[in-house]
Amino acid sequence: EQAGKKITLLHRVTGERKVWIGMAQANARLSAARRSAERVNQSQRLASLANTLDLPALKRIECFDISHTMGEATIASCVVYEGDDLKKSDYRRYNITGITPGDDYAAMRAALTKRFHKSVEENGVLPDLLLIDGGKGQISSAVEAMAELGLGEVLLLGVAKGEARKPGLETLIFADGRELKLAKDHPGFHLIQQVRDEAHRFAITGHRAKRGKARVQSTLEDIAGIGPKRRKQLLEHFGGLQGVRDAGVDALATVNGISRELAQTIYNALH
């Protein structure tokens, strides 16, 4: 205001600071270029897969996988690929109960029913391609489940593990039993592998968490005198099952509701 005109301030960065700023700007440009290239790469993969499957549009892919240990703590995962990227906000896990332990086919039917029955009732979003991690048995179960839901028009594709379960040797199986083998370097095949691997990762992490929780509950609740309330008190007091295991009788007896006699019983059961 005092000068009565617009003043431009010039600040020349020199020395070491100038070098660091230059490096930061260069890194930012490289990062932006990598993100742009990755988006182009993903778009090419999607277009390649759509062309291979003769789909006019391929905007949304969903993939299901089942994970358990000898039938224990069965979890189904659903991961979503949309808009040239994995859409983690749409990921879902489903606890599967009420089936014969280890029956992967029944687990798949249950998972698909849980996922899509609301879509039928509420006219919700459906995938352009539904990937099933598994072979002919799993794809047959998926076909049955989708038909019962009135969603037989959704394109199903099984991803069967190859010889010795080596990556790159997978066989793709259509709902009618036809098989398709894509080259290891096929862009669309790379996209299928990416989505399938993510479904597997998401399923197994959920399964391990559920199994661990179930084993903690069963370990403590199998002890006479320990019900859900006392189990919760012990876990909260000691920060988890390992903390309970590490505690001596005197420490256990400090927990509200745990007598010294019960503390001794707990200690004996865990050691």
pLDDT for 207? 84
Beta strands in 22-59 (DSSP E): none
- 76 pairs with which residues across the strands? 66, 94
Neighbours of 271 (CB within 10 A): 6
Task: Give the model's pLDDT for residue 217.
Answer: 63
pLDDT at 4: 65
Which residues in the chain come in under a pLDDT of 70? 1-5, 7-15, 18-19, 21-22, 25, 29-40, 163-165, 214-218
Domains in the chain, please, with CATH? 60-208 (3.30.420.340), 222-270 (1.10.150.20)
Cβ(189)–Cβ(43) below 8 Å: no
Give the pair of three-digit tokens for residue 269.
């059961």
Greatest Cα pair distance in the chain: 89
Q: Are 126 and 151 in contact (CB under 8 A)?
A: yes
- pLDDT above 90 as % of the chain: 55
pLDDT at 240: 81
Cα–Cα distance between 46 and 44 in angstroms, integer? Answer: 5
Contact (CB, 8 A) for 108 and 145: yes
How far, in Å, CA of 262 to CA of 259, rounded? 5
Which token pair is 268? Answer: 């004996």
Tell me the one-letter amino acid at 175: A
